[in-house]
Structure 1
Amino acid sequence: MKRALLIVAAAAAVAGPALADEALAKAKNCMACHAVDKKLVGPAYKDIAKKYAGDAKAVDMLAHKIQKGGAGVWGAVPMPANPQVNDAEAKKLAAWVLSLK
C-alpha cells in the first residue's frame, strides 16, 4: 500500500507542473482560442513552442503578448489583451507553452 502511494505521489510530482499550467490556461480562458496541438482561432501551442524554440527572450515576449495582445505574427486575426492575467501568471503560461513539444 505504501509503495503504491509513493508511485502515485511521484507521478503527480512529475505531471503536476504541466497539468497546473494547462489548468491555468483553462482558468484564464486561453483555451477558447488556442489548443495544445491544433490551430483554433489562434495557433496551436506546440506551433508557438516550435517557432520560438531556443529564443532566450521568448518567455518575456510571449508573456507581454499574453497580457497586452498582438497582431500580425500568426495572420490577420489579432490576439486581444488579457488584463485578467497578472505578470507571474503570464510568465508561467509562456514558459508552459514553450515547454510543449
Structure 2
Amino acid sequence: MKRALLIMAAVAAVSAPAMADQALAKAKNCMACHAVDKKLVGPSYQDVAKKYAGDAKAADMLAAKIIKGGSGVWGAIPMPANAQVNEAEAKKLAAWVLSLK
C-alpha cells in the first residue's frame, strides 16, 4: 500500500507542472490554434519541441513569438500576437512546449 502511494505521489509530482502549463495555455487561448499532439491552425506543440530541440535560444525566441506573434516559419498562416500573455507567462509556456516529447 505504501509503495502504491509513493508511486502515485511521484506520478502526480511529475505530471502536475505539465498540466499546470497546459492549463495556462488553455487559459490564454493558445489551445484555440494549437494542440499538444496534432496540427490545428498552427503546429502541434510536440512538433515545435522537435523543431527546436537542442537550440539554446529557442525558449527566448518562442516566448517573444508568443507575445508578438510571427509568420513564415510554419506556413502561410501567421500567428497573431497574444496581448493576454505577459513575459513571465510566455517564458513558462515556451519552456513547457519545449519540454514535450
Match of 1:82, SS state, is: coil
Whether 2:87 is the aligned partner of 1:96: answer: no
Question: What letter corresponds to residue 85 of structure 1 in structure 2?
Answer: V
**CA distance in structure 2 between the partners assigned to 1:7 and 1:48 by the alignment:** 31
Q: Name the TM-score, length of structure 2 as normaliser.
A: 0.92
Gaps of 5+ in 1: none
TM-score (norm 1): 0.92
Runs of 4+ in 1 over 2 A off after TM superposition: 1-11
Tell me the C-alpha RMSD between the 2 structures: 1.4
Q: Please list every run of 5 or more consecutive structure 2 residues that lacks an aligned counterpart in the other structure.
A: none
Aligned to 1:73: 73
Distance in structure 2 (CA, Å) of the matches to 1:42 and 1:84: 18
Count of aligned pairs:
101
Q: Percent identity?
A: 84
Deviations 1:69-95 (A, max 9, x none): 001100010000001101110001001
2:54 maps to 54
Shift of 1:4: 5.6
Q: Which residue in the other structure is 2:19 paired with?
A: 19
Quick one: which amino acid aligns to residue 74 of structure 1? W
Code of the aligned partner of 2:79: M
Shift of 1:13: 1.1
> How far has the Cα of 1:10 moved from its partner?
2.9
Aligned position for 1:30: 30
Separation in 1, partners of 2:46, 2:87: 22
